[in-house]
Structure 1
Amino acid sequence: MAYDLLHVLAIRELEEAENEIRRIPRVLRFRKNPFELEEKKFVRLYRLNKQLTADLIASLRGFVRESPRSSALNLETKVLTTLRFYAGGPYQSFVGQDEYTSMDQSTVSRCITEVTHAINAHLMDRWVTFNLSRRSMASLRQRFFEKYGFPGTIGAIDCTHVAIIAPPVDNPVYRERDYFNHKRYHSINVQLETVATLKSLGY
């Protein structure tokens, strides 16, 4: 009987402690303002300059959900978090630990999902176009040649590192060291391209 009473009191004590924790307002970790960075460092972190980033944020207003709650993330933070990941965050948790984002991995994931969906649905067709007219092709070839000295060039491609879990060190086929990149994490170098040869376009 005494044991049962002590058990009940212990449970009640735990419940009261949990209720007390729930009553404590959630305090977000302090974040620095990236727009206070010098331009060079801002571009290094986000791959866009401050003006382009501000334009992107303004263009996404109304397409990314914003909560009236004071503790909710604003649009600017969501966009900056997503850009930080695009720019080279190997893992979402690393982006969340950044002094300019400072949030848990699941929140980073939601930011990336919301902003990426909004860009694909509302901005992609407006901002990314492929003009394959003869005049456009001729202009591209001329500009590439004037700037870089490459004849007959109409575009360039790039690759990105997709983070992976490192293979075992003793794996004879997939050697761990082969996947360790210059950014100091394990990845596979991925290239996605659309190829249109001059011959297929009638040149």
Structure 2
Amino acid sequence: MLPVNILLARQHRRQRLRNFNIERIYLRNTYDPFNLDNLEFQRRFRTKDICSQFIDDLMPHMSNSPKINIIDPRTRILVALSFYATGSYQRLIGESHNISISQQSVSNCIRDISSLITEHLADRYVKFPTTNEERNVIKLAFHQKYNFPGVIGAVDCTHIRILHPVEEEHNFVNRKGYHSMNVQVICDSNLRILAVNPKHAGSTHDAYIWRTSAIREEVEIQYRLGNRSCWLLGDSGYPLQPWLMTPIVNALPNTPEGRYTQAHCSARNCTERCFGVLKQRFRCLSGDRTLRYKPEVVGQIISSCATLHNICILHNLNVDLIDEVNDQLQVVRPPDVVPNDLHQEGDRVRERIIRRYFH
């Protein structure tokens, strides 16, 4: 049997934790984060209007409980939004005076809300164009901004730093030597995300992610059905295909090929600006943060941030202090690829674009 002093110490500790939890529940239930001024609310959660709509969208998919100590759905959503926006440590988020929950509860909230967003809201706000009307709107915007015809999106990948996973750890080490997820994003000229693929480890090559993606299958099907005036833009790390235009390596300035490549690179750089805005808006994805979750959960967090990014664009929410992306000509030299029929067909399409628009 334990000594009396140890038993009394344990009893005192349990009572102290019980009183602390009661006080925390009282603080959480009597404080409304929406009473914060707009600037402070935006720093913690982003704008009130967007948060209110987002809560209304997600609440029907959340189960509630009659237990007195359960965390109410709105607080759970705000916890996740605070993490997305700041990328702060879970304990610091939980100890915030307007949240007041434990570190473990913060972790559970982030996982649960990310899963709900991915399952119920992502497809509503992150949509690849499937109709001629949708494609024409995107093509017109690209043509007006960059004088490049037929573009329905630009594709590129970005790395999101993660904690080294337990399983297949070596697959997540990218070319820069740290653990990451390699995330493929397709966006339009307004930086709206049209598709996001957050399922691949950091060592996976961009071209492989593209080759196995559902979007590649979609644009190829449309091409085979006779839609020959739509294509995506990718850098030279991607294969040239009739539905995916790449720049011309070593194209001379003031030539048709040079003008094509310059316009191509300027239009494709919208993906770099999209990455900058996304990571500035949701600091949990920025390069100086590390997502300490399993890769599957990291993928849901990334998908959730992409969904919220599009909601912000829908409401014309600007992000200040975004570093300007260098729009100068940047061409990545691709690995040697043996030409095939698809590459040759893509080359003919690219030559036709150059002759028609850049001579």
Report the TM-score range of the alignment, normalised by the length of the smaller protein: 0.5 to 0.7
Instruction: Mark the CA change 1:19 to 1:12 in structure 2 (over 3 Å): closer, same or farther.
Output: same
Structure 2 partner of 1:151 = 148
Distance 1:109 1:16 in 2: 28
CA contact (8 A) 1:63 1:118 kept: yes
Structure 2 partner of 1:182 = none
Give the drift of 1:133: 2.4
User: Mapping of 1:1-203 within 5 angstroms?
Assistant: 9-10=4-5, 13-14=8-9, 17=12, 20-21=15-16, 24=19, 26-28=22-24, 30=27, 33-47=32-46, 49-146=47-144, 148-149=145-146, 151-152=148-149, 153-155=151-153, 159=158, 161-162=160-161, 164=163, 191-193=183-185, 200=220, 201=223, 202-203=228-229
CA contact (8 A) 1:28 1:71 kept: no
1:54 match: secondary structure: helix
Give the drift of 1:191: 3.4
Structure 2 partner of 1:169 = none
Instruction: Mark the CA change 1:137 to 1:78 in structure 2 (over 3 Å): closer, same or farther.
Output: same
Instruction: Mark the CA change 1:20 to 1:110 in structure 2 (over 3 Å): closer, same or farther.
Output: closer
Structure 2 residues without counterparts, runs of 5 or longer: 165-172, 186-194, 196-209, 230-359
Instruction: Mark the CA change 1:37 to 1:149 in structure 2 (over 3 Å): closer, same or farther.
Output: farther
Instruction: Mark the CA change 1:189 to 1:44 in structure 2 (over 3 Å): closer, same or farther.
Output: farther
Q: TM-score, normalised by structure 2?
A: 0.39
Distance 1:187 1:94 in 2: 24
1:154 match: secondary structure: strand
Q: TM-score, normalised by structure 1?
A: 0.63
Query: What amino acid sits opposite 1:27 in the alignment?
Result: E
Query: What amino acid sits opposite 2:64 in the alignment?
Result: E
Ranked by relative contact order (alpha carbons within 8 Å, sequence separation 6 or more), the top structure is 2
Distance 1:66 1:17 in 2: 33
Instruction: Mark the CA change 1:28 to 1:15 in structure 2 (over 3 Å): closer, same or farther.
Output: closer
Give the drift of 1:106: 0.9
Give the drift of 1:80: 0.9
Distance 2:182 2:163 in 1: 12
Distance 2:11 2:36 in 1: 45
Give the drift of 1:188: 5.4
Distance 2:17 2:163 in 1: 37
Structure 1 residues without counterparts, runs of 5 or longer: 166-173, 180-185
2:161 match: secondary structure: strand
